[in-house]
Structure 1
Amino acid sequence: MVETITAEQLRDMIDADEEFVLFDTRSPDSFEDWHVDGAENVEYSSDDDELVGEFDEDAIDAGDTVVTICATGNSASSFAEYLEREGDAHDVKTVDGGMEAWSMVYDVVPIATENDDLVVLQLQRRSKGCLGYVVGSKRAGEAALVDVTRATDEFLDAARAHGLKVTHILDTHIHADHISKGRELADRLDVPYHLGAPAATRDPDFEFDPIEPNAVVELGDVEIKAVHTPGHTTGMTSYLVDDEALLTGDTLFVESIGRTELQFADKDARDGARVQYETLHKVIMTESNDVKILPGHFSVTDDGEYIDVTPGQPMFSTVGYLWENNEILQLDEDEFVEHMFENLPSKPPNYEQVIATNAGEYEPEEGEESELELGPNRCAATAESAVADD
């Protein structure tokens, strides 16, 4: 009998390095756009209960464990039943909810801090490469949530597990790759929703509690200072947490830097790149060398491979390490500007509609949010790592 497993169980099988064969039954185009690392594409129709293309029965050895996955679970379930009827595999599992469920799998990872009152939790959305944060004070029992996604319960559960009550919600900027639920959650909890005051340059169609550059949000004795870091967008704001860690949003990543042309386009594109250069060199890289860089994203390829990070492990770097090893940061200004327009990855899927949603200009229909978000983020300026090995 075919066993149904959750996307989280699939994650655990991958992390435990279990041996299994993973078949993805979506169309070849959908598969090429985005799939789990190591998956093999076998298109199958759940409507007709038949293979669309060819399938090599020899791909499965007797006794193999087989897992099937598709967009939402329907065709994968049918294919799993086909394999159980026709194949040699005795252990067949199918992922409930398919890639849509996989897109919402999270890891909650503590970030070590010097201040024993400070809590920093990194929420890793492993399929899409989104990073959000819970920042809190143990003594005050208060927390701020940063860059909240649609998985609001993941953020709330992480805060509650550490005895923290959410008192503030912040976004680093108006996102282009995923739907922010920060504003909606703030309304539900009746707490302030913050963007950096410069986000007003994006003309958001909603009210928010602006944080002026260098202003501070206090959680007991823990301070979160707003640092205006334009470049990725004009309103981009990073958050300096107790002088220990800088939450950089889409400005600086562990393996790359943020692209600029999603907002800045045409004749403004190079101006945006120069703004990004100024931000990186005259703002972020002037912080102490040991300040941790906690980005808003990590890079996932269309093939599901992770660049310079391991899901479930802390994802951060330091100012000093990136200053020495990030090759883009070592370019002079003119070289930097030209580099920003060479070999850029393709833009995030549906990014214009996602921006409109996060700016309050568009209301997705029921079920549309999942479709708008499918696929990995593409907010970095490079498809490969820009950080040299030691």
Structure 2
Amino acid sequence: MSPDELHDRIRRGEAVHLLDVRNRDEVEAWRITGENVEATQVTYAEFAAAKARGEVGEFVADLDLREPVVAVCPRGEVSATVAELLREEGVDARNLDSGMEGWARVYVARELPSEETDATVLQYDRPASGCLAYLVVSGHEAAVIDPLRAFADRYVADAEEFGAELRYAIDTHVHADHVSGVRRLADEEGAQAVLPAGARERGLADALDARLVEDGDEIRVGDATLTALHAPGHTTELTALRLGGDSPSDSILFSGDALFTDSFGRPDLERGDEGARDLAGTLYDTLTEDLLALPDETLVAPGHRTPDAVPNPGENDTFAARLDAVADRLRIPDEKGVFVDRVLESLPPRPANYGEIIPANLGRESLDDETAFEVELEPNNCAVAAMD
């Protein structure tokens, strides 16, 4: 089974039973999840031992697997052997082609409802990490927001499908969970790099000839306009972008990691534990005074979604939601101090390898393609966990 086929089954809500034969620590760090996904973890070594004893049949029977079964490993190699052993025992089993590495290359795009914004907007979803990116196309120009380096060619090709040239490559902030594609698109495709002005204070390398935007600055993409909205809290420089229609209620907010559809960005990745409390307070101000004060009908297009998130059928089956629905889910307390305490108590483990990813995105260190792909192969963990 190809990774794309597996993703389609999960997205359609079909029941999927995974037999994950990786080591337990690998499974706990990063796994395939979904609303109707059931998983059994048994190491390949256990299968090999059962085969050596001539007890594969008894071993498989004890697993109580729900058919059809999809076997999973890092690269689809040992899981292919396991799937064959299962079929020999009469189990309807398939192997996930290329394993978790193949799963990390699944990248799907769906169009956001954007009839009133003078633009066509695609939302890109990487199910393996929950990273979301956006292509904004108007006239013969296009801009990509929060692009991933691993899929840089995809944005160029999709813009060309619309008869447009990729003019801008934009990051809403210095990412900590994936390697940005802005530099590659600027260097190899001639797109104008666009970053928040505060990235300079964070140590942005001078080698990148980027346009730095501040609150209120505008970026013209064909007949459409992206307006910068400084939204600090997750990081000091984070700057959201609003794609406006004829009225404020027709707008799309590309919120980066400032605001998700069910949470908001964690405040401890830029300055560590010592600066987290101050940034959590800033985050409260950003949410209550700026982002949640936008018109209720504003469509929130976040930079991430949780692994188990279900597409919103009212928004073209995308991971986007209207601001009033987002506000209802967040349940932000009235007192800033209460909010700050709850945020600091709700922080999940930090993103894997963020200490390597941030310097790479600032241009201060270099990662080859293979290393860049490997350092982002775990959940993004950029959101605050759901608060009580």
- The amino acid of 1:186's aligned partner reads A
Residue 255 of structure 1, CA deviation: 0.3
> Does 1:142 find its partner at 2:141?
yes
Which residue among 298, 303, 306 is the counterpart of 1:299?
306
- With normalisation by structure 2, the TM-score equals 0.87
Q: Secondary structure at the match of 1:135?
A: strand
Query: Residues 240 and 246 of structure 1 are in contact (CA less than 8 Å); yes or no, is this contact kept in structure 2?
Result: yes
CA distance in 1, matches of 2:135, 2:15: 34
Q: Which residue of 2 aligns with 1:108?
A: 109
Q: Deviations over 1:289-308 (max 9, x none)?
A: 221111100112xxxx3378
Residue 12 of structure 1, CA deviation: 2.1
CA distance in 2, matches of 1:319, 1:62: 42
Q: State, as a whole percentage, how many aligned pairs show the same letter.
A: 31
CA distance in 2, matches of 1:62, 1:258: 38
CA distance in 2, matches of 1:147, 1:172: 6
CA distance in 1, matches of 2:214, 2:282: 19
Measured at CA, do residues 356 and 307 of structure 1 come closer, stay the same or move farther in structure 2, by a change above 3 Å? farther
CA distance in 1, matches of 2:65, 2:266: 48
Residue 233 of structure 1, CA deviation: 0.7
RMSD: 2.8
Q: Secondary structure at the match of 1:251?
A: coil
Q: Deviations over 1:210-232 (max 9, x none)?
A: 12321111012200111111111
Residue 146 of structure 1, CA deviation: 0.5
> Does 1:185 find its partner at 2:159?
no
- The amino acid of 2:235's aligned partner reads T
Q: Secondary structure at the match of 2:234?
A: coil
CA distance in 1, matches of 2:12, 2:326: 31
Q: Secondary structure at the match of 1:71?
A: coil
Matches within 5 A, 1:250-265: 250-265=257-272
Q: Which residue of 2 aligns with 1:195?
A: 195
Matches within 5 A, 1:152-231: 152-205=152-205, 206-207=207-208, 208-231=210-233
CA distance in 2, matches of 1:279, 1:62: 48
Q: Secondary structure at the match of 1:225?
A: strand
Measured at CA, do residues 167 and 59 of structure 1 come closer, stay the same or move farther in structure 2, by a change above 3 Å? farther
CA distance in 2, matches of 1:343, 1:52: 45
Residue 195 of structure 1, CA deviation: 0.3
| Deviates further, 17-26 or 343-352 | 17-26
Measured at CA, do residues 50 and 148 of structure 1 come closer, stay the same or move farther in structure 2, by a change above 3 Å? farther
CA distance in 2, matches of 1:124, 1:63: 28
Residue 16 of structure 1, CA deviation: 4.1
Q: Which residue of 2 aligns with 1:315?
A: 319
- The amino acid of 1:199's aligned partner reads A
Q: Deviations over 1:166-225 (max 9, x none)?
A: 111101111011111121112211120100112112111242221232111101220011
Measured at CA, do residues 93 and 201 of structure 1 come closer, stay the same or move farther in structure 2, by a change above 3 Å? same
Residue 66 of structure 1, CA deviation: 2.8
Q: Secondary structure at the match of 1:121?
A: strand
Query: Residues 135 and 144 of structure 1 are in contact (CA less than 8 Å); yes or no, is this contact kept in structure 2?
Result: yes
Query: Residues 142 and 222 of structure 2 are in contact (CA less than 8 Å); yes or no, is this contact kept in structure 1?
Result: no
CA distance in 2, matches of 1:59, 1:10: 25
- The amino acid of 1:326's aligned partner reads L
CA distance in 1, matches of 2:369, 2:168: 28
> Does 1:14 find its partner at 2:15?
no
CA distance in 2, matches of 1:39, 1:63: 10
Measured at CA, do residues 324 and 83 of structure 1 come closer, stay the same or move farther in structure 2, by a change above 3 Å? closer
- The amino acid of 1:211's aligned partner reads V
CA distance in 1, matches of 2:325, 2:316: 22
Residue 104 of structure 1, CA deviation: 2.2
Structure with greater proportional helix content: 2
Residue 60 of structure 1, CA deviation: 7.2
Q: Secondary structure at the match of 1:123?
A: strand
CA distance in 2, matches of 1:307, 1:334: 32
Residue 42 of structure 1, CA deviation: 1.8
Query: Residues 24 and 43 of structure 1 are in contact (CA less than 8 Å); yes or no, is this contact kept in structure 2?
Result: yes
Matches within 5 A, 1:31-70: 31-37=27-33, 38-45=38-45, 56-58=59-61, 64-70=67-73
Measured at CA, do residues 325 and 70 of structure 1 come closer, stay the same or move farther in structure 2, by a change above 3 Å? closer
Measured at CA, do residues 309 and 71 of structure 1 come closer, stay the same or move farther in structure 2, by a change above 3 Å? farther
Q: Deviations over 1:11-49 (max 9, x none)?
A: 123334555542111101111222123221121159x95
- With normalisation by structure 1, the TM-score equals 0.87
Structure 1: state its 5+ residue gaps: none
Measured at CA, do residues 380 and 21 of structure 1 come closer, stay the same or move farther in structure 2, by a change above 3 Å? closer
Residue 92 of structure 1, CA deviation: 3.3
- The amino acid of 1:117's aligned partner reads D
- The amino acid of 2:123's aligned partner reads Q
Query: Residues 196 and 235 of structure 1 are in contact (CA less than 8 Å); yes or no, is this contact kept in structure 2?
Result: yes
Query: Residues 152 and 184 of structure 2 are in contact (CA less than 8 Å); yes or no, is this contact kept in structure 1?
Result: no
Matches within 5 A, 1:334-353: 334-353=337-356
Q: Secondary structure at the match of 2:277?
A: helix
| Deviates further, 101-110 or 205-214 | 205-214
Q: Secondary structure at the match of 2:219?
A: strand
| Deviates further, 357-366 or 200-209 | 357-366
Structure 2: state its 5+ residue gaps: none
Q: Which residue of 1 aligns with 2:288?
A: 281
Residue 371 of structure 1, CA deviation: 2.2
CA distance in 2, matches of 1:230, 1:159: 30
Residue 101 of structure 1, CA deviation: 1.3
